[in-house]
Chains A and B, each alone.
Chain A
Amino acid sequence: MSSRFEIDTVGSPPGAPAPGLLAPEVERDWKRLIVPPVLVFVGFIGLWYLLSWRYLPVLLGSEPGAADRLRSTLLPYPHDVVATAFLDRENLVDLLGGLWLDTRLALAGLAIAIVIGVLIAVAMSQAKWIEVSGYPYAVLLQTVPILALVPLIGLWFGFGFGARLFVVVIISLFPIITNTLFGLKSAEAGHHDLFTLHTDSRWARLLKLQLPASLPAMFTGFQISAGLSVIGAIVGDFFFGRGERGLGNLINLYVARLRPEELFGALAFSTLLGVAVFVLFGWLRVRLTAHWHDSARAP
């Protein structure tokens, strides 16, 4: 009878590496993924130089020397930004200090939002009444003008780390709730039938079916919130304007003092921080789901 059980000829042989894990492919992928954005960056810097060099004089008319005087106010050359913001020791220390504060704020806030958001989504997935009664307020989190809320939060919680953390959590909670909930509901009907046949335990269904099925969507939510958490951190210190100095405080300061070189430096740092957290969660998502989920394989 065992002779009947032959292996189909289709499918990869035992021991062969999973598709997409081969070295040459990875190398080609890197080139394909890295080169185009670098070209866009070079183009962007080129355009910046062009505008700063040619457009400002056009804008300001022919008054001699006007363009040179105002260039540093309106649109400084990129190398001036680098020299002033990053090569000047005092400015760099300010910026790095702000960056450090906002990194801690964003990551801590994101971690709290992930715990709370996933718990809320799980609760909503387990009981329809929780979803129906809670979801409108989750939407509210997204639509409330955070700028108006920030001063209020300051009054309630003061202007320290905790209050800024609160802003980060509020701003990054919604995408985590919606994406996780969507993921928890995305388990296939056939898989649900399979579990219904073999167990009455909601816990087993949640742990072994719904949560694993939700991972790709859940991490998409984390990724969206990763970007938002950095914005939350900077908006928080921008409006509180007291206490420890984050990038938001520095931006305020630089605007007030008409220091565009430093302002651009602060913008670059905050953007890079957002990108870094976003990339980190994208990497985690691929690490956790690449062996089974299609979206993680395609770049």
Chain B
Amino acid sequence: MDPTSQRSLHFDSVGMTFPDGTAALDGVDFVVDRGEFVTVVGPSGCGKSTLLRLASGLLEPTRGVVTVDRDWLAYVFQDATLLPWRTVARNVELPTELHGVERQERRRRAAAAVDLVGLNGFEDHHPGQLSGGMKMRVSLARALTLDPTVWLFDEPFGALDAITRQRLNGEVLDLFMARSFAGLFITHSVPEAVFLSTRVLVMSARPGRIMAEFDVPFGYPRAGDLPFSPEFTALAAAVSAALETVHE
């Protein structure tokens, strides 16, 4: 893997202070290459979402530099953020439509993406007719249409029940294995972080800094019973302990 690859994400001593004086992030340094799935855990209000807004270009940092190829970026929000007046198919088409992809091509891509997340037969439904889990699938399908190389996830399945959440996490990993994108995933659940990623970053309370870094040694695909193995438990305990110390 070329470490200077354009299609990875690079934070170079990034700091963010909002106009009201709130220091959200300070001296954040890390790189996510293609084929890496990095998860950030931290106490609530530590600036995790700010991190993603900086990564996506929705915010400009007040210090340091963020390097990322924004044309190949997927941002999976906390909510599905589907337009309620559009059908599933038309929602999935939206990013390609905004990027000026020609109609037939975007239809084709949307159909393939809907197929991939298993929502065939729901193309003409409106979001109001879908369950929370299905809405998040539409959101994933929508992100897929641009075939992004950098994926940002902002606690995407936090509002769902445990079983649906687990299943969708499994689907994210399937996508990761199939496309080996650079993934940056925000969560406050330590087991979720360890289960998903190749690397876990622990952030401190505001202003957020990266306080600890853990490499996750498990290969992919990851078995559903992995969280019950002693190695997994030991690593999760170490991450939790690090999180405890930054919390104080």
Q: Interface residues, chain A, CB within 8 Å of chain B?
A: 1-2, 4-8, 10-15, 18-19, 188, 190-191, 193-199, 201, 204, 208-209, 212-213, 215, 289, 291-294
Contacts and interface: CB of A to CB of B under 8 A. Distances in A.
B238 interface: no
B129 A5 contact: no
Contacts of B126: 18, 291-292
A292 B128 contact: yes
B129 A289 contact: no
B133 A194 contact: no
Contacts of A199: 98-99
A223 to B, nearest CB: 19
B81 A194 contact: yes
22 contacts: A1-B178, A2-B118, A4-B170, A5-B174, A6-B118, A8-B133, A10-B132, A10-B133, A19-B129, A193-B77, A193-B81, A194-B94, A197-B56, A197-B57, A197-B58, A197-B75, A198-B94, A208-B94, A208-B97, A209-B83, A292-B85, A293-B85
Contacts of B73: 197
A193 B84 contact: no
Interface in B76-119: 77-79, 81, 83-85, 94-95, 97-99, 116-119
Contact of B116 (A5, A13, A14, A209): A5
B44 interface: no
A1 B116 CA distance: 9
B17 interface: no
B118 to A, nearest CB: 3
B134 interface: yes
Interface in B115-143: 116-119, 121-122, 125-134, 137
Contact of B125 (A4, A12, A213): A12
Contact of B58 (A10, A196, A293, A294): A196
Q: Which 3 A-B pairs have the closest CB atoms?
A: A5-B118, A14-B121, A10-B131
B189 interface: no
A190 B79 CA distance: 8
A26 B130 CA distance: 23
Contacts, number: 96
Interface of B: 56-58, 70, 73, 75, 77-79, 81, 83-85, 94-95, 97-99, 116-119, 121-122, 125-134, 137, 164, 167, 170-171, 174, 177-178
Contacts of A6: 118, 167
Contacts of B58: 193, 196-197
A13 B79 CA distance: 23
Nearest to A293: B84
Contacts of B75: 193-194, 197
Contacts of A213: 85
Contact of A212 (B78, B85, B95): B85
A197 B58 CA distance: 7
Contacts of A5: 116-118, 137, 171, 174
Contacts of B56: 197
A291 B70 CA distance: 34
B16 to A, nearest CB: 16
Given A8-B133, A10-B131, A193-B58, 10 more contacts: A1-B178, A4-B167, A6-B118, A19-B129, A190-B78, A191-B81, A194-B75, A198-B98, A201-B98, A204-B98
Nearest to B97: A208
Contacts of B134: 7-8, 10-11
B100 to A, nearest CB: 9
Contacts of B119: 7
Contacts of B85: 212-213, 215, 289, 291-293
Nearest to A6: B118
Given A14-B121, A191-B83, A194-B77, A1 B174 contact: yes
A4 B174 contact: yes
B133 A18 contact: no
A295 B130 CA distance: 18
Nearest to B121: A14
A8 B134 CA distance: 7
Nearest to A288: B85
A195 B99 CA distance: 10
Contacts of A14: 121-122, 125
Contacts of A204: 98
Contacts of B117: 5
A196 to B, nearest CB: 6
Contacts of A191: 81, 83
B139 to A, nearest CB: 10
A195 B86 CA distance: 15
